[in-house]
Structure 1
Amino acid sequence: MDSTYTILIADDHPLFRNALFQSVHMAISGANILEADSITGLFDLLAKEEPDLLLLDLKMPGANGMSGLIQLRCDYPHLPIVVISASEEPAVIAQVKRHGAFGFIPKSSDMRALVNALNQVLEGNMFFPETVADFGSEKNRLAEKIASLTPQQHKVLGMLSDGLLNKQIAYELNVSEATIKAHMTAIFRKLDVKNRTQAVILIQQLESETQ
């Protein structure tokens, strides 16, 4: 495929990032390829560039589970994002889809599969493995609960799972403790839990699917 596409690769593993760089070059002749190895570096690039496609690894410095994808979707709602991940669980793929990604490509994909996926996405078609259709009902319910959180609520839940107290979370997010308590109430309602412990157990279940 000949094009002047600008493709942004965000992955913290140099070897895989280089392999993906070479794969994209082979798939898309003449593409302008940019690279980022952290969430901070990614947002710095996005402040200066307008890529046609972002290839995003879920696990990078500065990202907590789906938080990077959620923040990107919030700040850049029109940017096509394709997650490329070593996690191939249906639960992960379903989460990625629900959080607004345009596609999901397993890192285990061979060159032909990668080229096919990239071509489909650049032609405007979403690309997800068929396994997402077989997503179990229990995991599906958990995915929907987590996906119902706002970006700010997701941040609060992430800090909660890290063991931070309400006042610590309030300090980190530069809001009042009352605001955090309101977020907690909304989070508990959306996740259908009664306390912090139950909420942490749910987020740990989700994170275990992305290992």
Structure 2
Amino acid sequence: MAKVRVLITDDHEMVRRGLRTFLSLHDDIEVVGEAASGAQCVSQALATPVDVILLDLKMPEDDGVATLRALRAAGVAAKVLVVTSFTELVQLLPAVREGAAGIVYKNIDPAALANAIRSIHNGHILLPPEVASAFMAGGAGPDRLGHLTARERDVLAQIAHGRSNREIARELNLAEKTVKTHVSSILGKLGVDDRTQAALYAVRHGLIG
């Protein structure tokens, strides 16, 4: 099985070193790079194949939210797991809106961090309960599920369960190219930018439990 390729982004060298040392103990996870700033993170993510980016929110040059925005603008496909000491919703909700697939706190148990990396790599959304509740409670726009076709609703439900286009194609007996077309249509109709936001939208509006 291929290893999960991880890029660590934190402006503190000791944090990066500690994360690298710990993650090196896991046979299925490989640290492929380190970045001390958002700009370095984007540059390395474009230059090196990366599956998951560990991202600090507070960095001196450009914060994590700006980095998330830059990663998306650059077309970086890697999932982003925010690792932060912030607990205030005003700091965390913008990261979710900019496409973070997960948020964990820096006091997380090391084994739980490894599992979080695996989880978002597999397409799941991983948010603290208070963050997920606050995000779903407001600011996500009107209910546009009625604009979706029945097939698009099926595809969105699969997205919300963390499945890839290939897995959705197999589950719904569709061509992968057809699934890709449905996904593009879903994002446009919901007015969201990526699969993570589409999944959160589906949860908020009751498409899945």
Question: Which TM-score applies when normalising by structure 1?
Answer: 0.58
Q: For residues 46 and 136 of structure 1, what CA distance do their matches in structure 2 show?
A: 27
Q: Does residue 131 of the first structure (1) align with residue 120 of the second (2)?
A: no
Q: For residues 13 and 51 of structure 1, what CA distance do their matches in structure 2 show?
A: 21
Aligned 8 A contact 1:104 1:129 in 2 = yes
- Report deviation, 1:100: 0.7
Aligned 8 A contact 2:4 2:28 in 1 = no
Aligned 8 A contact 1:82 1:103 in 2 = yes
Compared CA separation, residues 39 and 53, structure 1 to 2 (3 A): same
- Give the unaligned 5+ runs of structure 2: 141-209
- Give the unaligned 5+ runs of structure 1: 145-211
Compared CA separation, residues 108 and 32, structure 1 to 2 (3 A): closer
Compared CA separation, residues 114 and 72, structure 1 to 2 (3 A): same
User: Which structure would you say has the larger Rg?
Assistant: 1
After TM superposition, list the pairs within 5 Å mapping 1:103-118 onto structure 2. Answer: 103-118=102-117
Q: For residues 65 and 124 of structure 1, what CA distance do their matches in structure 2 show?
A: 21
- Give deviations 1:109-159, integer Å, cap 9, x for gaps: 11132122112112221111112144399xx76x77xxxxxxxxxxxxxxx
SS for the counterpart of 2:123 is: coil
The one-letter amino acid paired with 1:42 is C
After TM superposition, list the pairs within 5 Å mapping 1:2-151 onto structure 2. Answer: 3-29=2-28, 31-64=30-63, 66-135=65-134
SS for the counterpart of 1:125 is: coil
- Give deviations 1:58-100, integer Å, cap 9, x for gaps: 2223204621221112212522111111112233332211111
Aligned 8 A contact 2:93 2:131 in 1 = yes
Aligned length: 141
Aligned 8 A contact 2:82 2:104 in 1 = yes
- Report deviation, 1:24: 2.2
After TM superposition, list the pairs within 5 Å mapping 1:123-202 onto structure 2. Answer: 123-135=122-134
SS for the counterpart of 1:128 is: coil
- Give deviations 1:153-197, integer Å, cap 9, x for gaps: xxxxxxxxxxxxxxxxxxxxxxxxxxxxxxxxxxxxxxxxxxxxx
Aligned 8 A contact 2:39 2:67 in 1 = no
- Give deviations 1:3-29, integer Å, cap 9, x for gaps: 433211111111111111123223453
SS for the counterpart of 2:47 is: coil
RMSD: 2.7
Identical-pair percentage = 27
SS for the counterpart of 1:21 is: helix
Compared CA separation, residues 111 and 7, structure 1 to 2 (3 A): same
Compared CA separation, residues 27 and 126, structure 1 to 2 (3 A): farther
Aligned 8 A contact 2:5 2:29 in 1 = no
Question: Which TM-score applies when normalising by structure 2?
Answer: 0.58
